């Protein structure tokens, strides 16, 4: 099942322990507590559940939801 | 987690260029490492290394090609670092082809034996290579090896300087090598380089430093760390970086690791957060600090070009965490998570820059404690299908401790490395911390994260068991008795044994018991009974012992009042205790007791004596139980009032029974009591000997401050057992050098016993055992003991618990500390005090429930820090609060501060103990003035007046040696008082200059002893300048040595300025040294020897003889009257002899007598002997030292002064030269020789007086008609050549009935009392007396 922007935001909020409504699409997620372990968790989860092939570096290089959406093939 | 770190190559991300010929500057990260290396260019500590263990077939040629290609792609690796005038720069280095200089070592180690042996050989090779430092300026800064350890097993080793690569960079390099190798093996295209360029890193770093983000990050960290706590480390030591690192590797099993991950998920954290929280918990408990700072390594690549650059980027940032026992582990994990998130937002700000911002320059100024380096990824690489696992070998330099945590790809749990600086940690310490941390992780994994942290301790189950049970196995069944019962039982058993030696006489047990019983019965009439308090205010004396016994016999508890404390202080104690009465004497009451309306029992009141006689002498009845109080002793209270500790009979009885069980006092022992009764050491000093049938020997009042007097008392009374506070033991050992001491055992307690002092003790008193004891008043004197053995090293332990006593070293959560970890010492068991008198709040705070004891059991919180040794003995490790131990006395700074702030002019006060000069610990008060209004009303703040006010309210030990007035207190970064920044007191020196040489000398000695930069004015008080009693003792010794003055401590207290002291010294000899009877040795069991003075009238010349006659021979010198003013008394030599005899009889009323005289003294001795015989007394010795009857001297009239001078010279053994008149100066010189007086004491007036006296004596001799002494005379002839015309001993024939036994000495008359002749005289005397007496 392909990822949606909402699902990305929900998963990011989940690993950060935050409310999805508090995660903007265009902000640097590092400022919200995103770290390498959490990125790895997301990479794994999305590979398992959605068959994506993004790497750690792909996500770490531009840590913002709107930057990730095209890499993850998400429908916006 | 096994995931690809680096994905598809992404080309053309950033326009980059390689370092050109001029090279590139270093990034901030690189600069940090370059700087560390430049501090020690030969150090290999900056080497990082790892190896990959490849399982499968590897083609070494293909591998070399893959490696060479990868290195060629990674320009960040291919640099050397050179120092230039513009700072360090990095320049490219060429990389040769494999086999042509490329740094790749290959070896086949299969010939080492099996795979295990081959791997061991490979690791040994790696370690050796790791010890080789790189040369930064030449490069390359990397090295590789491919080692074959099996047919299908290879190790790829990789060493790189930390200035060019970090841990993430290793992963990039390893992945690319594996990918290229795999592609080459498959014949595939290896694809373009995935790496970003070094120049991009440098540009990004420069851009960051110019950015607003940089400013924002800097502000954040400065704010965040402004009030940083002191950096705690597990070792408690700060050390310089070492060239090597000690590594211990351990593994946390997969189950525990999995549970930690579940726990992390359950509290919405990551598992690294859990590990940070666990390490913070461990560090906090191990250091006793609530606030800890961990080192947080940061990858530093998020959102950066550095994600693709194999270079050096990582950073370390401080992670501050607060660990409280009431918080839960979930909360602590959340705190770690939030702290790390915050740090991450500011992660590019360099550690080195932060240190610079905070002023932490130089080495040894740490900002963080242990680093926790969590590496959450395994590589998960394959080399053409061959799997491998990575093993880190070195992560670079370790300042203190780095805990490296690696997630293992094979699901086998976590690898946990402890990398330690060997300069800070013993090997065993590292292993112990690691073992316990893993144990803690396991317990955390198995516990509910929402339970309080207080349930988690550091100790393993086994350590906990040893701490609580094995080390505290002290149960001993004892009968329920009291402090006094065994004393009475002993008195009944051995009534005639000597119980007490005091005030110059002794008492048997029966005598002492009877006196105490009569007084006890009187006290009972006054209402003293079990549970009632009675104060005792008496100087050290037999009366004091009787009074204490009497209070106890009546069933009451005694309250000692220190007669040296100020009345205001005693008033507080009396108010606090409301005693039924105070037992004292007239003088003490008048001098020190405040008027409080408490009935006084005056022991010297004749009416009382009559009343006591009417009481029965038998032991009184009383309904006393072991639970009743035995005594109440007051200690310093932090809130401004002393607090009374109520100690029940059961507690002190246990203590004394243990002491007897441990040390076995016998009837032959003599125990010295010298500790003021306000200190509980006095309790065993007094009652232990009396319970065991030994003899109690009392030091004189005030003698506890005078080491020489104590040594004398110990020798005189054969004391076998004594106590010293360590700071008093040192000066005592100085005195002990003077000859053997009868001591069998010495107890030290009251403060830390330095090892050097224990060593000195063993060297000085090799036959005496030294015991170190520890305990607070709140637990009946002592609760632990250690026998010091010669040859031990390290700190002297306070040892192991006494009977029925449990000692716990507990952390902030009251969990037992494992060995080596400092915690607070708690005491449980039989010796606990009942509590603080009338202070239930204070009692509840310090006497708390014992969680390890029976229900209802209590334990006392000492406030002392302690550490358990592996063998169970305890080391003392300071205080958990501000309490000070000064010369064995407990001092609460708060009590002194409260006293200071009672003055309206003082706004705030801070009292600290300072050691501005080594070995010189002093109490200093800093105060700030109250508002200008208050000052206007009450006057300006005068430090001396403040000090004087304190002295009127506090015991001497609590009066600061200096009061310093500051406008404001120095504050630390957290806004709190920074005690370390308080300035040293600068004594304000007066400016009246010395008026004579003695004042000048004294002022100089003051300056020396007090460490002043210049001599004080002659009106400056020693104690105002910072002197205390220890320094006073030092000054007295120096004055004695330098000025030859017979000065005692009391004189210094009465005359504390150079001018006053000079006057006292001038007067002193008139009072003492020039007095008519000079005791040269008071002690000894033999018949005293009386020595009569030569013509000058002084007896000091006999000091050498007295010293040589041994400790058992008392020697008293008679001296002429009138030396002070030069006016001799009227009368002839016979009258003078009668006067001497009267003084002799005062000391020794009846014969036999021993007499000796030199020169004129011989004439006098002969006359005294004749008088004694006439009185029917036995004279067993009359010794004459080159002395002749008057008619043997020149005849004629009594000489004029000039003739007298010549005569005196002759008597002094010198022949006047030629016809010139003899001058006064010649005589003065000769007399000084003869007098034996130190030159400085001999004032011109004294010399003149001596001259007149000597002339007078010469006349007396001539006029005197000696009687006949009917015994033998022991004669010493000064037979040196040149004395031929002197009279002979035979001139005595008419006046001696017995024999004149002669011994010739090869010396002139004047030299008879000098070393050499005096040795012969002493030896002859000893033999003569030995044969005859």
pLDDT digits (tens, 9 = 90+) for B824-868: 999 999 999 999 999 999 999 999 999 999 999 999 999 999 999
User: Which of B264-278, B726-740, B1073-1087, B1209-1223 shows the lowest per-residue confidence on average (mean pLDDT)?
Assistant: B1209-1223
The 10s digit of each residue's pLDDT in B149-198 is 999 999 999 999 999 999 999 999 999 999 999 999 999 999 999 999 99
Q: Percentage of chain B with pLDDT > 90?
A: 56
pTM to 2 decimal places: 0.71
Residue B404: per-residue pLDDT: 95
Q: Which residues of A touch B5 (CB under 8 A)?
A: 55-57
Question: pLDDT band at B21, cuts 50/70/90?
Answer: low
User: Which of B35-44, B413-422, B619-628, B722-731 shows the lowest per-residue confidence on average (mean pLDDT)?
Assistant: B35-44
Question: pLDDT band at B1294, cuts 50/70/90?
Answer: confident
pLDDT > 50? residue B738: yes
Question: pLDDT band at B1238, cuts 50/70/90?
Answer: very low
Mean predicted confidence (pLDDT) in A50-64: 91
* A70 inside 8 A of chain B by CB: no
Residue B942: per-residue pLDDT: 81
Mean predicted confidence (pLDDT) in B122-139: 95
Question: pLDDT band at B11, cuts 50/70/90?
Answer: very low
Six-digit token pair at B470?
């094995």
Q: Find tokens 């009345």 and name the residue.
A: B567
DSSP secondary structure letters along B464-523? HHHHHTGGG----------SSHHHHHHHHH-TTSEEEEETTEEEEHHHHHHHHHHHHHHH
Torsion sign (Cα): B1057, B1059, B1062, B1067 = negative
Q: Would strands B823-829 and B858-868 be described as parallel, antiparallel, or unpaired?
A: antiparallel
Mean predicted confidence (pLDDT) in B1310-1315: 75
Mean predicted confidence (pLDDT) in B938-962: 83
* A28 inside 8 A of chain B by CB: yes
Q: Find tokens 């003569």 and name the residue.
A: B1328
Q: Do B6 and A56 touch (CB under 8 A)?
A: yes
* A60 inside 8 A of chain B by CB: yes
**Apex B196 CA angle, B190 and B197, nearest 5:** 115
Mean predicted confidence (pLDDT) in A56-61: 91
pLDDT > 80? residue B83: yes
Mean predicted confidence (pLDDT) in B1264-1278: 90
Cα–Cα nearest to B54, from B181, B184, B183: B181
* B208 inside 8 A of chain A by CB: no
Q: Is B105 a catalytic residue?
A: no
Question: pLDDT band at B705, cuts 50/70/90?
Answer: confident
pLDDT > 80? residue B1072: no
DSSP secondary structure letters along B32-79? HHHHHHHHSTT--TTEEEEEEEEES---HHHHHHHHHHHHHH-TTTSE
pLDDT > 80? residue B1221: no
Six-digit token pair at B632?
């109440």
In B, minimum Cα distance to A47 occurs at: B3
Please give the residue that has the higher pLDDT: either B3 or B795.
B795
Range ranked top by mean pLDDT from B801-805, B931-935, B964-968, B1329-1333:
B801-805
pLDDT > 80? residue B9: no
Mean predicted confidence (pLDDT) in B891-900: 90
Q: Which residues of A touch B271 (CB under 8 A)?
A: 37
Mean predicted confidence (pLDDT) in B443-468: 95
Question: pLDDT band at B1322, cuts 50/70/90?
Answer: confident
> Can you name the residues that pair with B861 across neighbouring β-strands?
B826
pLDDT > 50? residue B1312: yes
User: Which of A67-76, B29-38, B62-71 shows the lowest per-residue confidence on average (mean pLDDT)?
Assistant: A67-76
The 10s digit of each residue's pLDDT in B494-540 is 999 999 999 889 999 999 999 999 999 999 999 999 999 999 999 99
The enclosing H or E element of B340 equals helix B329-345
Count Cβ–Cβ pairs < 8 Å, chain A vs chain B: 65
Indicate which of B6, B7, B296 best probes the interface with A, i.e. most A CBs within 10 Å of its own CB: B7
Instruction: Kindly list the distances between the CA atom of residue B16 and the CA atoms of B143, B597, B1023, in Å, as whole numbers in the listed order.
Output: 26, 96, 75
Q: Do B303 and A54 touch (CB under 8 A)?
A: no
* B345 inside 8 A of chain A by CB: yes
In A, minimum Cα distance to B302 occurs at: A60
The 10s digit of each residue's pLDDT in B362-378 is 555 678 999 999 987 76
Q: What is the mean pLDDT of chain A?
A: 89
The enclosing H or E element of B1204 equals helix B1201-1211
Mean predicted confidence (pLDDT) in B469-493: 96
User: Which of B300-309, B707-716, B908-917 shows the lowest per-residue confidence on average (mean pLDDT)?
Assistant: B908-917
Residue B647: per-residue pLDDT: 98
CA distance B446 to chain A (A): 23
Please give the residue that has the higher pLDDT: either B638 or B479.
B479
pLDDT > 90? residue B89: yes
Range ranked top by mean pLDDT from A12-26, B829-843, B1296-1310:
B829-843
The 10s digit of each residue's pLDDT in B1180-1212 is 999 999 888 877 765 544 445 665 566 556 545
Q: What is the mean pLDDT of chain B?
A: 87
Question: pLDDT band at B1070, cuts 50/70/90?
Answer: very low
The 10s digit of each residue's pLDDT in B1114-1129 is 888 888 887 766 677 7
pLDDT > 60? residue B213: yes
pLDDT > 50? residue B1241: no
Asked whether B683 and B781 are in contact (CB, 8 A), the reply is: yes
Residue B14: per-residue pLDDT: 37
In terms of Cβ atoms closer than 10 Å to its own Cβ (0-12, 13-18, 19+), residue B239 is: middle
From A30, A32, A53, residue closest to B303, measured CB to CB: A30
Q: Which residues of A touch B377 (CB under 8 A)?
A: 36, 40
Collapsed DSSP state (helix, strand, coil) of residue B1228: helix
* Pairwise CA distance, residues B674 & B685, whole Å: 8
The 10s digit of each residue's pLDDT in B382-394 is 999 999 989 999 9
User: Which of B356-365, B466-475, B548-557 shows the lowest per-residue confidence on average (mean pLDDT)?
Assistant: B356-365
Residue B887: per-residue pLDDT: 80
Instruction: Kindly list the distances between the CA atom of residue B510 and the CA atoms of B513, B553, B744, in Å, as whole numbers in the listed order.
Output: 5, 14, 27
pLDDT > 50? residue B1179: yes
Q: Do A35 and B4 touch (CB under 8 A)?
A: no
Six-digit token pair at B1192?
């043997």
Range ranked top by mean pLDDT from B537-546, B944-953, B1275-1284:
B537-546
* A38 inside 8 A of chain B by CB: yes
From A37, A57, A63, residue closest to B7, measured CB to CB: A57
* Pairwise CA distance, residues B744 & B646, whole Å: 32
CB neighbours of A46 closer than 8 A, spacing ≥ 6?
A3, A11, A52, A54, A72
Asked whether B1026 and B916 are in contact (CB, 8 A), the reply is: no
Mean predicted confidence (pLDDT) in B49-54: 96
CA distance A75 to chain B (A): 23
Q: Do B272 and A37 touch (CB under 8 A)?
A: yes
In terms of Cβ atoms closer than 10 Å to its own Cβ (0-12, 13-18, 19+), residue B936 is: exposed
Six-digit token pair at B107?
């070896």
Q: Percentage of chain B with pLDDT > 70?
A: 89
């Amino acid at each position: 099942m392909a990822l949606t922007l909402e699902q990305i935001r929900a998963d990011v909020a989940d690993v950060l322990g935050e409310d999805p409504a508090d995660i903007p699409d265009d902000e640097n997620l590092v400022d919200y507590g995103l770290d390498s372990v959490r990125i790895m968790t997301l990479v794994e989860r999305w590979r398992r559940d959605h068959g994506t092939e993004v790497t750690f570096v792909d996500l770490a290089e531009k840590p913002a939801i709107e930057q990730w959406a095209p890499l993850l093939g998400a429908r916006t | 987690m096994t995931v690809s770190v680096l994905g598809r190559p992404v080309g053309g991300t950033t326009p980059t260029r390689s370092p050109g010929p001029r090279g590139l500057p270093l990034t901030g990260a690189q600069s940090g490492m370059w700087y560390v290396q430049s501090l020690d260019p030969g150090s290999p500590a900056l080497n990082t290394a790892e190896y990959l263990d490849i399982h499968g077939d590897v083609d070494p040629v293909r591998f070399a090609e893959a490696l060479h290609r990868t290195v060629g792609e990674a320009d960040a690796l291919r640099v050397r670092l050179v120092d230039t005038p513009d700072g360090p720069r990095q320049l490219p280095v060429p990389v040769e082809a494999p086999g042509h200089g490329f740094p790749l070592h290959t070896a086949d180690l299969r010939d080492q034996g099996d795979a295990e042996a081959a791997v061991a050989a490979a690791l040994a090779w790696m370690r050796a290579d790791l010890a080789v430092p790189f040369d930064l300026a030449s490069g390359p800064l990397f090295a590789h090896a491919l080692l074959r350890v099996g047919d299908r097993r290879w190790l790829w080793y990789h060493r790189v300087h930390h200035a060019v690569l970090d841990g993430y960079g290793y992963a990039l390099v390893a992945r690319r090598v594996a990918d290229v190798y795999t592609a080459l093996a498959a014949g595939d295209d290896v694809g373009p380089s995935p790496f970003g360029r070094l120049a991009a890193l440098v540009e990004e770093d420069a851009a960051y430093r110019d950015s607003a983000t940089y400013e924002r990050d800097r502000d954040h960290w400065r704010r965040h760390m402004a009030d940083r706590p002191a950096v705690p480390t597990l070792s408690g030591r700060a050390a310089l970086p070492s060239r090597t690192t000690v590594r211990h590797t351990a593994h946390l099993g997969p189950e525990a690791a999995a549970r930690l991950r579940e726990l992390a998920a359950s509290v919405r954290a990551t598992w690294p957060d859990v590990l940070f929280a666990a390490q913070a918990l461990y560090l906090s408990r191990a250091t006793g600090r609530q606030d800890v700072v961990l080192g947080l390594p940061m990858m530093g690549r998020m959102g950066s070009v550095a994600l693709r650059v194999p270079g050096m980027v990582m950073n370390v940032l401080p992670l501050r965490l607060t660990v409280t026992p009431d918080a839960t582990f979930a909360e602590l994990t959340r705190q770690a998570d939030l702290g790390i998130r915050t740090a991450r937002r500011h992660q590019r700000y360099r550690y080195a820059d932060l240190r610079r911002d905070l002023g932490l320059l130089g080495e040894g100024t740490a900002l963080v404690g242990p680093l926790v380096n969590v590496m959450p990824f395994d590589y998960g690489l394959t080399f053409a299908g061959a799997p491998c696992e990575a093993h880190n070998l070195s992560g670079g330099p370790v300042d203190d401790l780095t805990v490296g945590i690696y997630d293992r790809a094979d699901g086998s749990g976590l690898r946990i490395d402890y990398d330690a600086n060997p300069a800070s940690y013993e090997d065993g310490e590292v292993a112990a911390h690691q073992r316990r941390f893993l144990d803690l992780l396991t317990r955390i994994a198995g516990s509910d994260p929402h339970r309080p942290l207080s349930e988690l301790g550091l100790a393993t189950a086994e350590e906990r068991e040893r701490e609580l049970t094995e080390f505290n196995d002290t149960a001993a069944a004892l009968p329920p008795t009291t402090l006094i019962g065994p004393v009475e039982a002993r008195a009944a058993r051995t009534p005639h044994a000597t119980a007490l030696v005091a005030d110059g006489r002794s008492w048997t047990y029966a005598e002492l018991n009877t006196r105490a019983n009569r007084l006890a019965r009187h006290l009972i009439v006054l209402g003293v009974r079990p549970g009632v308090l009675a104060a005792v205010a008496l100087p050290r004396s037999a009366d004091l012992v009787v009074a204490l016994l009497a209070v106890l016999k009546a069933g009451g508890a005694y309250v000692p009042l220190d007669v040296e404390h100020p009345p205001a202080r005693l008033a507080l104690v009396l108010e606090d205790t409301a005693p039924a009465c105070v037992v004292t004497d007239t003088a003490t009451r008048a001098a020190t007791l405040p008027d409080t309306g408490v009935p006084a029992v005056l022991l010297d009141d004749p009416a009382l004596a009559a009343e006591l006689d009417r009481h029965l002498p038998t032991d009184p009845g009383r309904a006393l139980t072991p639970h009743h109080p035995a005594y109440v002793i007051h200690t310093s209270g932090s809130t401004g009032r002393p607090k009374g500790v109520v100690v029940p009979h059961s507690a002190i009885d246990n203590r004394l029974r243990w002491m007897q069980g441990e040390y076995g006092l016998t009837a032959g022992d003599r125990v010295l009591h010298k500790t003021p009764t306000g200190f509980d050491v006095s309790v065993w000093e007094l009652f232990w000997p009396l319970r065991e049938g030994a003899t109690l020997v009392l030091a004189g009042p005030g003698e506890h401050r005078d080491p020489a007097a104590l040594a004398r008392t110990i020798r005189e009374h054969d004391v076998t057992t004594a106590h010293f506070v360590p700071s008093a033991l040192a000066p005592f050992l100085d005195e002990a050098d003077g000859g053997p001491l009868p001591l069998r055992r010495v107890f030290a307690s009251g403060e830390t016993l330095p090892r050097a002092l224990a060593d000195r003790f063993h060297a000085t008193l090799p036959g005496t055992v030294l015991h170190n004891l520890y305990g607070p008043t709140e637990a009946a004197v002592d609760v632990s003991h250690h026998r010091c053995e010669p040859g031990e090293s390290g700190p002297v332990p306070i040892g192991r618990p006494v009977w029925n006593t449990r000692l716990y070293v507990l952390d902030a959560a009251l969990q037992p500390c494992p060995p080596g970890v400092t915690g607070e010492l708690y005491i449980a068991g039989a010796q606990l005090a009942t509590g603080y008198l009338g202070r239930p709040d204070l009692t509840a705070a310090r006497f708390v429930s014992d969680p390890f004891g029976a229900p209802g059991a209590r334990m006392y919180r000492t406030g002392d820090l302690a550490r358990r040794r592996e063998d169970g003995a305890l080391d003392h490790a300071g205080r958990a609060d501000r309490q000070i131990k000064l010369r064995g006395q407990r001092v609460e700074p708060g009590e002194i501060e409260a006293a200071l702030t009672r003055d309206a002019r003082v706004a705030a006060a801070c009292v600290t103990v300072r050691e501005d000069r080594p070995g010189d610990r002093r109490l200093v008060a800093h105060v700030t003035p109250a508002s200008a209004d208050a000052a206007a009303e009450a006057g300006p703040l005068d430090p001396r007046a403040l000090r004087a006010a304190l002295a009127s309210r506090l015991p001497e030990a609590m009066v600061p040696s200096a009061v310093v007035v500051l406008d404001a207190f120095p504050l630390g970064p957290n806004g709190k008082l920074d005690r370390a920044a308080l300035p040293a007191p600068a004594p304000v020196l007066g400016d009246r200059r010395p008026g004579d040489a003695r004042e000048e000398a004294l002022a100089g000695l003051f300056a020396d002893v007090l460490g002043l930069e210049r001599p004080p004015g002659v009106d400056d008080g020693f104690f105002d300048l910072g002197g205390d009693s220890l320094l006073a003792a030092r000054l007295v010794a120096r004055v004695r040595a330098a000025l030859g003055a017979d000065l005692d401590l009391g004189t210094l207290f009465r005359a504390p300025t150079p001018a006053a002291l000079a006057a006292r010294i001038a007067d002193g000899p008139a009072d003492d040294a020039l007095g008519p009877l000079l005791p040269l040795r008071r002690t000894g069991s033999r018949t005293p020897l009386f020595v009569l003075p030569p013509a000058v009238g002084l007896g000091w010349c006999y000091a050498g003889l007295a010293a040589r006659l041994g400790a058992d021979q008392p020697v008293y010198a008679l001296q002429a009257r009138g030396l002070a003013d030069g006016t001799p008394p009227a009368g002839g030599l016979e009258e003078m002899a009668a006067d001497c005899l009267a003084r002799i009889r005062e000391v020794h009323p009846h014969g036999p007598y021993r007499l000796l005289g030199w020169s004129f003294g011989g004439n006098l001795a002969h006359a005294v002997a004749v008088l004694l015989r006439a009185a029917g007394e036995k004279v067993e010795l009359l010794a004459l030292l080159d002395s002749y009857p008057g008619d043997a001297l020149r005849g004629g009239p009594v000489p004029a002064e000039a003739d007298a001078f010549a005569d005196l010279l002759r008597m002094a053994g010198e022949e006047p030269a030629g016809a010139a008149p003899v001058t006064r100066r010649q005589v003065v010189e000769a007399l000084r020789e003869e007098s034996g007086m130190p030159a400085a004491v001999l004032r011109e007036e004294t010399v003149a007086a001596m001259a007149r006296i000597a002339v007078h004596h010469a006349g007396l001799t001539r006029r005197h008609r000696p009687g006949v002494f009917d015994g033998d005379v022991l004669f010493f002839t000064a037979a040196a050549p040149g004395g031929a015309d002197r009279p002979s001993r035979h001139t005595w024939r008419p006046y001696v009935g017995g024999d004149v036994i002669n011994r010739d000495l090869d010396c002139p008359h004047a030299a008879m009392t000098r070393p050499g002749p005096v040795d012969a005289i002493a030896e002859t005397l000893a033999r003569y007396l030995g044969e005859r007496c």
